[in-house]
Amino acid sequence: MTNIATSNKDSPVQVIDPVCGMTVEPDETNFVSLHQGRRYWFCAETCRRVFEENPKKYLKPKASNKKGWFGRYLERMAKVNEKEFGCSGPGCH
């Protein structure tokens, strides 16, 4: 289910639209693009068109961002605290 693209020979059961990240079933969509010998399937014509305008933008490996905005905020706060108080943090206890 995490395949973004496959070769021309096989159609996977499900793939991920490289533009919006939606799950797409290749047998149920007509929105396909061929780029450097690989097929990419899309949920809508808009996603296909945007991909074809700049495929490199959507084929870059994306950093896993499972932390969400709050996790990123906490990381920044931890770095600021470490800079201010050292590795042990503030001496409040």
**pLDDT 10s digits, 40-69:** 999 999 999 999 999 998 887 766 656 788
Q: Which domain holds residue 11?
A: 5-85
Would you say residue 91 lies in a domain?
Answer: no
Would you say residue 25 lies in a domain?
Answer: yes
pLDDT at 92: 54
Would you say residue 50 lies in a domain?
Answer: yes
Question: Does 73 have pLDDT greater than 60?
Answer: yes
Would you say residue 92 lies in a domain?
Answer: no
Would you say residue 22 lies in a domain?
Answer: yes
Would you say residue 21 lies in a domain?
Answer: yes
Would you say residue 93 lies in a domain?
Answer: no
Per DSSP, the residues of 54-69 read -HHHHHSPPPP-TTHH
Quick check: pTM over 0.75? Answer: no
Query: What would the pLDDT profile of 13-30 be if each residue is shown by its tens digit?
Result: 889 999 988 999 999 999
Please tell me the total number of residues recorded for the chain in this structure.
93
Structural domains in the chain (count): 1
pLDDT at 91: 56
Contacts of 14 (CB under 8 A, 6+ apart): 1, 3, 23, 24, 25, 26
